[in-house]
Chain A
Amino acid sequence: MSAHAPSAQAHEGYRFARADELHPHDKRVIVGYGFWIWLISDIILFSAFFATFAVLSENTDGGPSGRELFSVTTVAIETACLLFSSFTCGIAMIGAHAQNRAMYYWGMAVTFVLGLAFLGIEIHEFSELIAEGAGPTRSGFLSSFFALVGCHGLHVTAGLLWLLTMVAQVWAKGFREDIQRRLLCFGLFWHTLDIIWVGLFSLVYLVGVAPQ
């Protein structure tokens, strides 16, 4: 074999495969890798919002700072929602892998409820801030805060809609090869949102309320 395929053995380099050469498994690797690249670009987008917030976090223009505005209890509940939803999303992905419908549907249902609870708490928090006169137009600090946390909230919203479509696709089409690839991407997306939330609750909320 080694004598017959010297190029593959000698270089061990990547080469592009024609579509008809691909195994189903290869396609899964390519789709997952491509989506991973996109997720990393999304992380870079968030890092720009993080940098903006870090630069502007002291610029309160005489208005309220994070210490006066943030509720640690609220953030703890939000964190618990997202952490457990990441776990249940993982359970749903195992269910999909094992083609166990009950496990998949229950995992997705709990993930959806937890994600929706997170979103509800966040919308409530935002509306309270705006009602207190601490809306995004109050100061540079609050503009960057709403942009950063709101961007994450929009991603969670998109994730919840995607979750519903994935439930519908499995319901209508079953655990087909292409549906499994979409589920792989959805799982990666949901877990990545959780990683971004780790940065948010640690560096925005907790650093904001920490004693100086």
Chain B
Amino acid sequence: MSQDSSGPHVSANALPQGDAAPGDEHAGFDIASGIRGYLIGLVLAVGLSAVSFYIARSTIVWAPSIPIALSVLAIAQMGVHLVFFLHITTGKDSVNNVLALAFGILIVMLLVFGSLWIISNLNHNMLPMEQIMNMQR
């Protein structure tokens, strides 16, 4: 490597090399491998959806645990969509996208579980509606 070779190519250092845009196909892909990726994603997504629809109406899962089972299946399917459709992978070139997503998930969790926690606590501490009505008389 001659020292001069890096001189004119300032733009080569403009971004850390190897960052990928979210949604981009990996380098050197062809049409067949691209379609195969989407096809694998479709099969997995349809399979997970089918399982969700099945267990929601069957007695195969203990009834009180069905919402948990459906949540787990939904999260798994979201992962399938992220990897096979949005191409957000665990690869080194996707760290920027994954970090942004991780922060988003943190906020989503705070919002959803924080709301459920606070409101269930309020509901728990609130008088039954009949008693409130009686107090207003």
Contact = CB atoms under 8 A, between A and B. Distances in A.
A179 B11 CA distance: 23
Contacts of B101: 36, 40
Interface in A165-212: 184, 187-188, 191-192, 194-195, 198-199, 201-203, 206-207, 209-212
Contacts of B70: 202-203, 206-207, 210
Given A40-B100, A201-B52, A29 B20 contact: yes
A161 interface: no
User: How many B residues touch the partner, as a band?
Assistant: 35 or more
A51 B63 contact: no
Interface in A2-60: 3-5, 8, 12, 14, 17-18, 21-23, 26, 28-33, 35-37, 40-41, 43-44, 47-48, 50-52, 54-55
A76 B24 CA distance: 30
Given A5-B13, A90-B34, 4 more contacts: A54-B112, A86-B85, A198-B81, A202-B74
The 6 closest A-B pairs by CB, nearest first: A32-B21, A17-B14, A40-B104, A202-B74, A90-B38, A51-B115
A46 B10 CA distance: 41
B100 A33 contact: yes
B21 A5 contact: no
Nearest to A200: B74
Interface residues of A, number: 67
A203 B20 CA distance: 32
A35 B88 CA distance: 13
A97 interface: yes
A14 B95 CA distance: 13
Contacts of A98: 31
Q: Mostly helix, strand, loop or mixed at chain A's interface?
A: helix
A199 B29 CA distance: 31
Interface string A65-77: 0000000100010
Contact of B31 (A52, A100, A202): A100
Interface in A72-125: 72, 76, 79-80, 83-84, 86-87, 90-91, 93-94, 97-98, 100, 103
Interface of A: 1, 3-5, 8, 12, 14, 17-18, 21-23, 26, 28-33, 35-37, 40-41, 43-44, 47-48, 50-52, 54-55, 72, 76, 79-80, 83-84, 86-87, 90-91, 93-94, 97-98, 100, 103, 184, 187-188, 191-192, 194-195, 198-199, 201-203, 206-207, 209-212
Nearest to B11: A21
A90 B112 contact: no
A31 B6 CA distance: 26
A37 B114 CA distance: 23
B13 A91 contact: no
Nearest to A208: B56
13 contacts: A21-B10, A33-B19, A50-B112, A51-B112, A51-B115, A87-B39, A94-B35, A94-B38, A194-B85, A195-B82, A198-B81, A199-B74, A202-B71
